[in-house]
Amino acid sequence: MEKEIRVVMGLETHVQLNTKTKLFCSCLNASYLDELPPNSAVCDVCLGMPGTKPVINKKVIDLALKIALALNCKINQQFFFSRKTYFYPDLAKNYQITQYEIPLGINGKVKIRTSKGEKDIRIKRIHIEEDPAKLIHRNEYTLIDYNRSGCPLVEIVTEPDFNNAEEIRAYLTKLMQIVQYVDAFDSNKATFKSDLNISIEGGERVEVKNITGIKEVEIAANYEILRQKNIILRNGKIERETRRWDENRNITVSMRKKETEEDYGYIFDPDLPYIELDASYMEKIKSSLPELPDEKIARFMREYGINIKIAESLVYEKEVADLFEKAVKEGIEVKHASTWIGVVLRKILNYHNISYVASSIRDEWVIDVIKLYQEGRFNDLNTEMIMRKIFDDKMPPQEVIRKYGFKEKIDREKIKEHALQVIKKYEQAVQDYKTGKEKALEFLVGMVLKETKGSADPKDAREVLIELLQK
Ligand code: ADP
Ligand code: MG
Ligand code: ZN
């Protein structure tokens, strides 16, 4: 057997924090606003004018601390900010304010689940820093938009604990869930970017910069694993370098041989105070944390007796988990609530690639659809169609039913009337069935469903037909 080449990967993920204003000035946090004119959310501070001084936005510390706690980090209650010096127009000061020597949190962990089971990904550090401006490269010149300059980020760095791309996807999915649970990130407005560090047995570490989202990191990881393995198999050498992800061509491209951290000349920023988080503040933030995804999954399995797959699906979004519990409280049986919300609703949301919150669907609409099903008023197929239409048309189920004329489920007696007609009309199929052709029955069931305009339950129709044909 061919020898398995060992792959080791780590991630550094930058998450845009959901605050109203920037990290060190009172400009609007442009990362969360669409379509502001370029260079409109700027001031002397975030443009780096001489003599201006940064003032820390306390809300950023609240949110970063919540994330650090939710990632099970040890908190450094005393810290300061540093300047990372580099010369590039995306930061007008020629340095980025970040945390280097003492990050806000260290030594955390995140539990992930993949097809191979559970695993802990260790978090090395989490720190606060400012986002640089956006550069737009044209053929002969470059445009700069400083709206994003100075917007708050947290950078979350893992230990090199990933061995394949599936683990990366599971981790990033979990991370995104957690930052949304603590209300620090809004996936419908802001983005997050990761740097992927990867080394394979026999080679040096390569860093792939600036990959947006989850899926792209997974594709980039698989690409880079393959590229490096091919080099090793041909007895080539992999040197330490920095590459970038070209998302149009789905390949990584070399940028430079990696500089070391010393090149940045980190230095303490004397414009900002030495910060100390006191015990009562820590307590306040801790007690404001919601029930986190892992705890919720465990409780759902225990309290409602549902399996881990459904529990994970329900808990994926906090608002969906709340919707499930609300439905159960309103008298929907767990089996109906968990299937219609954990499977069908999830499928619809994934299809539209939208979160439940952003879909602007009301809890009552979803609950009413499930109630109609539970009362036996609509069959599976029509219930699912109604559920889909409330998302498409943003209307309550009663209106959707009227608009599209969804037929209520009919009873067996009614089905029998239609079935008798179908039997009369399709003699050949009836003959075929009686001579053992099972397919003919499917056809007849289909005809009954058509006759009843989809209002018959397929299972009922089938049973009624079999009964009639036995005579
Ligand atoms: P640096 O100081 O060079 O940025 P760090 O120790 O901060 O290095 O690690 C940066 C990232 O690289 C982390 O996500 C870490 O998990 C990852 N990493 C460290 N060593 C390796 C390695 N040998 N192979 C792959 N990734 C690595
Ligand atoms: Mg680093
Ligand atoms: Zn500003």
- Which of 274-278, 330-334, 451-455 comes out lowest in average pLDDT? 451-455
CA of 159 to the centre of ligand 1 (A): 7
Give the number of whichever ligand sits closest to the CA of residue 228.
1
146 alpha carbon – ligand 3 mean position (Å): 9
Question: Tokens standing for 22?
Answer: 């920037």
State residue 287's pLDDT score.
98
Question: Which class for 438: exposed (0-12), middle (13-18), buried (19 or more C-beta within 10 A)?
Answer: exposed
- How high is the pLDDT of residue 470? 85
130: left (phi over 0), alpha (psi -120 to 50) or beta: beta
Confidence of residue 259 (pLDDT cuts 50, 70, 90): low
Q: Of all atoms in ligand 1, which is nearest to the CA of residue 159?
A: 16
Closest Cα partner for 161 from 111, 127, 204? 111
pLDDT of residue 410: 86
> How many angstroms separate the alpha carbon of residue 92 from the centre of ligand 2?
22
On the question of pLDDT at 17 being above 70, the answer is yes
Assess whether the C-beta atom of 255 lies below 6 angstroms from ligand 1.
no
**Rounded percentage of the chain residues whose pLDDT exceeds 70:** 98
Distance (Å, whole) CA 14 – CA 286 = 23
Q: Which of 12, 71, 197, 198 has most ligand 1 atoms within 8 Å of its beta carbon, as the pocket-test mutant?
A: 197
**Would the pLDDT of 2 be above 60?**
no
Report which DSSP code applies to 449. H
* pLDDT confidence bin for 261, thresholds 50/70/90: low
Q: Looking at residue 1, what is its pLDDT?
A: 46
Q: What is the mean pLDDT of residues 318-324?
A: 97
Q: Is residue 207's pLDDT more than 60?
A: yes
Instruction: Specify the pLDDT at position 80.
Output: 97
pLDDT, residue 458, reads: 87
Please indicate whether residue 8, judged by its CB atom, sits closer than 6 Å to ligand 1.
yes
Residue 252 CA to ligand 1 centre (angstroms): 18
Residue 157 in contact with ligand 1 by CB distance below 6 A:
yes
Average the pLDDT over 166-171 and give the result: 98
Model confidence at 258: pLDDT above 80: no
Mean pLDDT calculated for residue range 216-227: 96
Smallest-distance ligand from the CA of 10: 1
Ligand 1 atom 6 nearest Cα: 159
Residue 457 has pLDDT above 60, yes or no: yes
Nearest listed ligand to the Cα of residue 260? 1
Residue nearest (by alpha carbon) to ligand 1 atom 13: 10
- The pLDDT of 153-172, averaged and rounded, is 98
Strand partners, 117: 114
Q: Are 401 and 415 in contact (CB under 8 A)?
A: no
Supply the pTM of this predicted model: 0.88
Q: Does the beta carbon of 159 sit less than 6 angstroms from any atom of ligand 1? A: yes
pLDDT at 175 over 50: yes
Query: To 10 degrees, what angle do helices 380-393 and 397-404 make?
Result: 110
DSSP state of 136: E
The ligand with the least distance to the CA atom of 84 is 2
Q: Tell whether ligand 1 has an atom less than 6 A from the beta carbon of residue 160.
A: yes
Q: Tell whether ligand 1 has an atom less than 6 A from the beta carbon of residue 10.
A: yes
Quick check: 355 pLDDT over 60?
Answer: yes
203-239: burial string, b at 16+ Cβ within 10 Å, e else: bebbbbbebebbebbbbbbebbbebbbeeeeeeeebe
Comparing CA positions, the residue from 446, 440, 445 lying closest to residue 427 is 440
Q: What is the predicted pLDDT for the residue at 407?
A: 87
Domains of the chain by residue range:
7-284, 291-404, 412-469
Per residue in 269-288, pLDDT tens? 999 999 999 999 999 999 99
pLDDT mean over 152-180 = 98
Domain 412-469, CATH among 3.40.50.150, 1.10.10.410, 3.30.70.260, 2.60.120.10: 1.10.10.410
Give, in order, the Cα–Cα distances in Å from 294 to each of 12, 70, 287, 313: 22, 10, 17, 12
Express as a percent the part of the chain with pLDDT over 90: 86
Cα(151) to centroid(ligand 3), Å: 9
Neighbours of 162 (CB within 10 A): 25
Measure Cα distances from 423 to 415, 436, 461 in Å.
12, 16, 12
> pLDDT tens digits, residue range 135-148?
999 999 999 999 99
**CA 126/CA 24 separation, integer angstroms:** 19
Q: Whose Cα sits closest to atom 20 in ligand 1? A: 160
Average pLDDT over all residues of the chain? 94
